[in-house]
Amino acid sequence: MIRRAREAGVQVVDLRFTDLPGTWQHFSTPISELSEDLFAEGIGFDGSSIRGFQAINESDMLLFPDPASAFVDPCLEVSTLSLTCDVSDPVTGARYSRDPRYVAQKAEQYLGKTGIATTAYFGPEAEFYIFNSARFDQNAHEGYYFIDSEEGIWNSGQDGGTPNLSHRPRHKEGYFPVPPTDRLQDLRSKIMLAMISSGIEVEVHHHEVGTAGQTEIDMRYNTLTRMGDQLMMYKYIVKNVCRQHGYTATFMPKPMFGDNGSGMHVHQSLWKEGQPLFFDAKGYGLISDTARWYIGGLIKHAAALLAFAAPTTNSYRRLVPGYEAPINLIYSQRNRSAICRIPVYSKSPKAKRIEFRAPDPSANPYLTFAALLMAGLDGVKNKDEPPSRWTWICTSSSPRSAST
């Protein structure tokens, strides 16, 4: 990796790690400092200045770069190699318990010890909004926020210094229109290409339901810790490419009243020695007993999971009826109001997965994915049956559904 970085003309090495709330932190060093010693001995930083980390009297901490995480940053002018790091205690030499990446790695290690499966795959769908402006303040004499987007339907009557060219999606009508209504096609493509150049496999990008630039770019599924790394890269690349083109991107779960919020539906599946465990041709939604019990664990622990998966007060502005957010503590094939949905796009055993719809992109991905895996495994271990899908139907206000 060192040799290839120098051959590629890299000038700067950026060392990154994640704090407890889930924000990327970093500092940089010249390429001349990139040596085997850096990987063996680590590099120090002040842990007391990082949210959720150390007290000031125990501030010294070490970072150890993971060479497998290396990518050339597509957003910076100076050629920069980015490395994701693990955090350790310099006194004991032990991994740091509050390092979110370590939590994710421990969850994967635990999975192997259970004997239930050998690999857990995760595929988050992190939605976000792209605005032209976002102003906010709260002080002694005023409190406000103002967001604006050239694509926002509220600008249909604007009479400014430039012609109003119309073509804007109405509220809740932003799903899949072609340009010129979809004004962000090229910008999304540039974001996607930057992700691909960084080693992220992208499956699709599209405009989402909300007016004013709601967007989704889907990554191909990956293992738990690696997907945590990729989601941090994803949010970083989205924000920086948007900024380079005069936009501001936000992963706030509900930035706008009266339109869809931004979720992060997390697709999950368990595999054992290369074989998928969630498929059964005779099961409801083609899922196996293992998948159903995994869902049972997710629903049983839903209240605790939301502390990680929907961690902000704004998260609960999103979880309301009428906006495709999950509002029923049930599982169901196809139903997007269920907290656990079973996609039925494919009948292939390899494609069978479950989707937990409560998370949003304000979450720390390492902690969220680890919590989801542990809850699901608890369900499998105890053979927890989720609430019957018929319970939801029979308690419906519709007489016809009740009789069914």
Domains and CATH numbers, the chain: 2-96 (3.10.20.70), 119-394 (3.30.590.10)
User: Please, what is the end-to-end C-alpha distance for the chain in angstroms?
Assistant: 62
Burial 293-302 (b: 16+ CB within 10 A, else e): bbbbbbbbbb
Report residue 64: phi and psi, to 5°.
Answer: -120, 110
pLDDT at 389: 54
User: Does residue 151 have an active-site annotation?
Assistant: no
Q: How many CA atoms lie within 13 A of 399 on its CB side?
A: 0
E strand residue ranges, 262-301: 264-272, 275-276
Indicate if the pLDDT at residue 399 is higher than 80: no
The residue from 355, 360, 378, 384 that is catalytic is 355
Catalytic residue flag (residue 41): no
Q: What single DSSP character describes residue 172?
A: T
39-43, 85-89, 154-158, 190-194: the lowest-pLDDT one = 154-158
For this structure, is 336 an active site residue? yes
Mean pLDDT of 338-346: 89
pLDDT tens column, 52-89: 888 888 888 899 999 999 999 999 999 999 999 999 99
| Rounded-to-integer distance, Cα 72 and Cα 200, Å | 12
Angle 228-118-86 from CA coordinates, rounded to 5°: 35
| pLDDT, the chain, mean | 91
| Ramachandran sector of residue 167 (left: φ over 0; alpha: ψ -120 to 50; beta: rest) | left
- Whether 402 shows a pLDDT value over 80: the answer reads no
In angstroms, the Cα distances linking 284 to 16, 288, 347, 388 are 43, 8, 12, 11
Q: How far apart are CA 184 and CA 161, in angstroms?
A: 22
Give CA–CA dist 217/233, Å, rounded: 13
Please report the pLDDT score of residue 56 as a whole number.
86
pLDDT value of position 392: 43
Kind and range of the H or E element at 262? none
Q: CA-based angle 374:111:101, to the nearest 5?
A: 70
78: tokens are: 């100076």
Whether residue 50 contacts residue 96, with contact meaning beta carbons closer than 8 Å, is answered with no
Q: Is 208 annotated as catalytic?
A: yes
Alpha-carbon gap, residue 207 to 189, rounded angstroms: 11
Q: How confident is the model at residue 398 (pLDDT cuts 50, 70, 90)?
A: very low
* pLDDT at residue 404 tops 80: no
Residue 119 has pLDDT above 70, yes or no: yes
What's the pLDDT at 401?
40
CA distance 84 to 101: 10
267 is catalytic: no
203 is catalytic: no
**Share of residues in the chain with pLDDT > 90 (%):** 74
pLDDT digits (tens, 9 = 90+) for 313-329: 999 999 988 888 888 88
Is 148 catalytic? The answer is no
Least confident of 6-20, 137-151, 168-182, 357-371: 168-182
Q: How confident is the model at residue 129 (pLDDT cuts 50, 70, 90)?
A: very high
Mean local confidence (pLDDT), 349-360? 93
Catalytic status, residue 216: yes
Per-residue model confidence (pLDDT) at position 159: 83
User: Considering 26, 226, 336, 385, which one is annotated as catalytic?
Assistant: 336
271/397: higher pLDDT = 271
d(CA 110, CA 119): 11
| Mean pLDDT, residues 27-49 taken together | 91
